[in-house]
Amino acid sequence: MTTSRCASILIGLWVSATLGLAAAAQPQTVSTPTGALTLEQAAELALGQNPVIEASESGKRVAKARLDEARAARLPSLQFSETYTNSNNPVFVFGSLLEQGKFGPQNFAIDSLNQPGSLSNFRSALNLRLPIFNRLQVETGVRKAELGRESAETMSESARQAVRFALIQAYFGAQVAEARLQVAQDAVASTESQVKRIRNMREQGTVVASDLLAMEVQLADFRQQLIQATGDVETAYSALDTVMAGNLDHRPSLSTRLVDKDFSLPPSEELYKQALASRPDYRQAELETEIRKQDIRATRGQYLPDLNLFANFGQSSRDLSSGSADFAVGASLTFNLVDFGRRARVREAVAASQAAEAERRRAGDGIRLEITRAYQSYRAAEERVRVAAGAVDQAAEAFRIAQDRHGVGLTTVTEVLRSQTALVRARMNLLGARYEKYVGYADTLLATGRLSDLNAFTR
């Protein structure tokens, strides 16, 4: 499993922890002067400034620079040098006099040849080198840099998809947290009304004290849930702000609602084929195998010669104002006749290529498992939505009947508490199932490598 997907799953684990008490009621939101925040607007902010995206874009620039550097190795290089030397070495003095054009008959004297006086020489030189064939090193270096740039682009796309997935979790997770708060508030208000009614009935002697105590215990439990839900809302919006790179200076109204929506997915086998064609991390595995093949080609190229053209222009003088100029042009051909490490380097490159190919196959197997897991989770959530929607209606009717029966003394308060708890749980389960359906669909698209936009969640 890739790092980007691991990060997405960690975020999902936090959001899932809030779903145990999620609710179907519409969440309360605080309107802001700037208006409601749509999912598309949130995505624009997240993709524009999220550090993960910035890091991936920097990686693309690094890869582009490396490609330019590799291509520059095909071009000629020109160097300028200025050297000053003072020596009485006979060979140096003899050669320098010739370079300076100052050699005369007197310099043939034996004493002058064997024990010359010290001589200063300024040497200015331009050196031009043009590579013709460099044992495939330049060619393979350029190809590896091209593959590296493509790999950086796929990493960037992978990062963008991971941010979209995290945004879906956080955006709709905030709505789940707010809905949970609304359900807790409704439960507290309803139970307070029940406590007041039963207290009146207790004073009239129509119910026993244990009924009132049981209802007050229920009220205390719902108040604890309300306290927890209030903190969960703050945490949820903090998570959303983190995905959006700290762009929320206030709590916005989230206008893209978590409603019952039908999504379309092909069979899992078709999803697997799509993943092999479009998933960024699988493409990276393929590129890695190509890079390792280029390494094999480069190491085998070390058996070939190195051919370069060169041209030198220089001037030697006793000072910087005058002197004698000279030039040289030619070609150099170099063979490494004996290199005991060359064969080992080839074996190393071949082994690395085999490892990269095995990793590519392992990535393919892992993708199949991820798609199966995400696809089945989505289907299960889809079925849960259908079942939970019917359960809410049934629980609401059961609670109404229990209240009516208890009002005329036909049932106990225990039945009222049980039906009220069942209604709260059913409402929470419905919204939880809707949230998991959204996240399951997004996770399936992410596993397929096709979470390239958010249109399916906004239309």
3 state SS for 301-362: HHHCCEEEEEEEEEEEECCCCCCEEEEEEEEEEECCCCCCCHHHHHHHHHHHHHHHHHHHHH
Considering the four listed CATH numbers 1.10.150.120, 1.25.40.10, 1.20.1600.10, 3.40.50.970, the one that applies to the domain covering 3-75+135-304+342-458 is 1.20.1600.10
Beginning with the edge strand found earlier in the chain, give each strand of the sheet holding 306-317 in spatial order. 77-87, 119-134, 306-317, 324-334
Which parts of 170-323 are beta strand (E)?
306-317
Does 28 score more than 50 pLDDT? no
Does 34 score more than 90 pLDDT? no
Q: How confident is the model at residue 425 (pLDDT cuts 50, 70, 90)?
A: confident
Q: How confident is the model at residue 35 (pLDDT cuts 50, 70, 90)?
A: low
CA gap 151, 283 in Å, rounded: 8
Give percent above pLDDT 90 in the chain. Answer: 52
Q: How confident is the model at residue 250 (pLDDT cuts 50, 70, 90)?
A: confident
pLDDT of 139: 94
pTM (two decimals): 0.75
The mean predicted confidence, pLDDT, of the chain is 86
Name the helix (H) or strand (E) containing 144: helix 137-204
Name the helix (H) or strand (E) containing 374: helix 342-407
DSSP 409: T
116: left (phi over 0), alpha (psi -120 to 50) or beta: beta
Q: Could you read off the pLDDT of 271-316 as tens digits, one per residue?
A: 999 999 999 999 999 999 999 999 999 999 999 999 999 999 999 9
Q: How confident is the model at residue 320 (pLDDT cuts 50, 70, 90)?
A: confident
Coil, helix or strand at residue 36: coil
Give domain limits for the chain: 3-75+135-304+342-458
Worst-scoring range by mean pLDDT, 52-61, 114-123, 388-397, 422-431?
Answer: 422-431
Does 23 score more than 60 pLDDT? no
